[in-house]
Amino acid sequence: MPAYTETLPRVPESVLRARNLVDLSLSAWGVHDDQGAAKLVVSELVANTVQHARRSSFRVTVTWLGDNRVRVAVVDLSRTHPVRRSAGSDDESGRGLDIVDALSRGQWGVDSMRWGKRVRADLVFEETTGE
């Protein structure tokens, strides 16, 4: 499966670099549908990694799955899985995984690895050329 991937430093500025990787990937595959959903998903996954993971870097991968589907994944070296929280109306955080769940239509999850984890979300696009 075709994929674009990049190792990024675990700093807040990496959110923009991850969004750019998503934009590049989707454009290369002819995804003309709303790219904003994929960029928001990667933003949430990277923000969680920057805030909670260990080590100084992580890896972002955007994979063309076929059938107008794309997987956005973030791999880090922490074995601690993300937890969905119930955010109150005044809370400034705690909604990220709810956003990922909504935009991926529940098609997201965590894969444990010997040395860490991969958090992934699959997105379906209505209009692509699938190049």
> Domain containing 113 — which CATH number?
3.30.565.10
Structure token pair of residue 124: 């379906």
Q: Residue 97 carries which side chain, given as an amino acid letter?
A: L
Domain count for the chain, please give it. 1
In a domain, 86, yes or no: yes
pTM of the model: 0.88
In a domain, 129, yes or no: no
Structure token pair of residue 127: 């209009």
Residue ranges making up the domain that contains 93: 3-124
Task: List pLDDT tens digits, range 10-51.
Answer: 999 999 999 999 999 999 999 876 788 999 999 999 999 999
In a domain, 98, yes or no: yes
In a domain, 131, yes or no: no
In a domain, 19, yes or no: yes
β-pair partners for 75: 59, 118
In a domain, 47, yes or no: yes
β-pair partners for 54: none
Task: List pLDDT tens digits, range 65-111.
Answer: 998 899 999 999 999 988 777 655 665 555 678 889 999 998 999 99
Q: What is the reported pLDDT for 88?
A: 57
